[in-house]
Amino acid sequence: MTMATTRMMKSLRCNEASLPMLTPQNPMSDSSFQVATLDNRPFFESALRYGVQQGIITPAKISAIENEAPKGMVQIAEAFGSKYLRPEIDMAQKRIVNLVSLYLRQSTQGDLGLAAKMISDNTFLTLSRGGSGLLKALFSLPEYALLGREEKGRVEDFLDIWSRKEGDTDYLKVLAQRQANAIEIAAAYWFGEQLDVSRSSLQEQDADAGSVIRTAMLLRILGKSDETLVNQVEFAKLVDAVRKKGKVTKRSKNTLDAIPADYQAIAERIAQEIHAHDLPKILNPDLPLDTVVFELKDRYFIRDYEMEDSAEYDALVSKEWTKLTKGKTDVYALLTLFFCIAAGATPKTVITEANAKTLVKKIRKDGFHPELAIAFINSAAPHEKQESLLEEWDDFVQEADAYLLDDWDNTFSGALRFLDKHCDIEKPKK
């Protein structure tokens, strides 16, 4: 026990009559809960003091606690360090009082009378184990609302940290959050079934619980609850269809139909988020389809799509990009396109060797303008490709100046070798 608690217990034994009585006539004892919150003592100490004053806890019980407490402190010190080191014993005093206080407060909702009765009816070590049990239960709850296997640390390390905490403010905050996570995870598995996605598949993909629920709720709101979203292309098609329609029917009362009662609150909350945050973006005609999909896709459960789907997606979300790239996705074709744009020529994904030579001449006369290609990428390329495309183009430009602007290369052989290495150059037929 803490030194303050130890001194308090001795005080209770030696001079019980001198303690201020907490009675209904005393304004400070209007309720046992009020008394418990008016001081900064550990809750165990407040309950013990109250119990002695009210005759709930006898001197014999105090003696029993004094005999039990050292055993518990030694066990705790040994669990977290060494029972032979004084600092560990001192910390164990604090730990055991914190554990007992936590258990008493949570079991009685802070009622000092009920807590005193629990002290009277149970051994001190039983109360300590009760607090430890609460912390172990807290540890077992999910820290995050993810459907994959959560990598937890050791329960011993968790207890080491949490048994040091005084009061229950942090405990209640984390408990509420983790309980909410548990409900969200259970709800996500239920909604996953509605989307025809198995539990094992959700776990393999480490799916975010909220994204699964949000996907199912969006389909319900759009009146497509019997459908599912397999990949990003289908998500883009769904968004595009809503945009073309131009409106979403007013929220139907049956949006929450058939959803289990335990999951209705989170379903309602996410539905409100969709109406407040997602639908305004989807319906905003000033936002390109690609921008909308890029900004929203991480909020939904959308499985990865294979590279062969890329051209279909690009064609759907970026008409200008598809028109100029002709559906090509390889880096050589795209660098050729960017090179033409930077040279101020007609954009092409493949050029002849003669065209390449002509463009190099033009660049040495009129200048090379990589910023034009950057502007094109930023305005026309699908968002999720822009970063990698800009990196590829930057690497190209860093090396290009040495070849394209080399006046000593009168035959253009060095420039053509460089372009042949990085671009799609069509050689003359022999």
Render pLDDT for 60-73 as a digit per residue (tens, 0 to 9).
Answer: 999 999 998 888 88
How far apart are alpha carbons 298 and 318 in whole angstroms? 19
pLDDT: which is higher, 136 or 78: 136
pLDDT of residue 62: 93
* pLDDT > 60? residue 35: no
> What are the residues whose beta carbons fall under 8 Å from the beta carbon of 427, sequence distance 6 or more?
353
C-alpha dihedral sign at 219, 223, 226, 229: negative
Question: Residue 181 pLDDT more than 80?
Answer: yes
Q: pLDDT per residue over 252-311, tens digit each?
A: 556 788 899 999 999 999 999 999 999 999 999 888 888 898 889 889 998 765 544 567
Instruction: Show Cβ contacts of residue 191 under 8 Å, excluding neighbours closer than 6 positions.
Output: 212, 213, 215, 216, 217, 263
pLDDT in tens, 184-218: 999 999 999 999 999 998 998 889 999 999 999 99
Residue 175: CB atoms within 10 A of its CB come to 16
52 pLDDT tier (thresholds 50, 70, 90):
very high
Model pLDDT, residue 318 = 79
Instruction: Please choose, from the candidates 215, 213, 206, the residue with its C-alpha nearest in 3D space to the C-alpha of residue 142.
Output: 206
Is 23's pLDDT higher than 70? no
Per-residue pLDDT averaged across 383-411, rounded?
Answer: 90
Give residue-wise pLDDT tens across range 74-99. Answer: 888 888 876 666 778 888 999 999 99
Which amino acid appears at position 274 of this protein? I
351 φ/ψ angles, rounded to the nearest 5 degrees: -135, 155
| b/e sequence 126-135, b meaning 16+ C-beta within 10 Å | ebbbbbbebb
Do 194 and 218 contact (CB within 8 A), yes or no? no
The larger pLDDT score, comparing residue 155 to residue 5, is at 155
Distance (Å, whole) CA 370 – CA 397: 7
So what's the pLDDT on residue 60?
Answer: 93
Residues 101 and 124: beta-carbon distance below 8 Å: no
The more confidently predicted of residues 2 and 404 is 404
Residue spans per domain, the chain: 3-140, 196-299, 318-426
Q: Exposure pattern of 64-90 as b/e (b: 16+ CB <10 Å)?
A: ebeebbeebbeebbebbeeeeeeebbe
- pLDDT of residue 142 exceeding 90, the answer is yes
Confidence at 348, pLDDT banded by 50, 70, 90: very high
Distance CA 140, CA 354 (A): 69
Tokens in use for 176? 């509420």
Longest Cα–Cα distance in the chain: 115
> Does residue 7 have a pLDDT over 80?
no
Average the pLDDT over 145-168 and give the result.
90
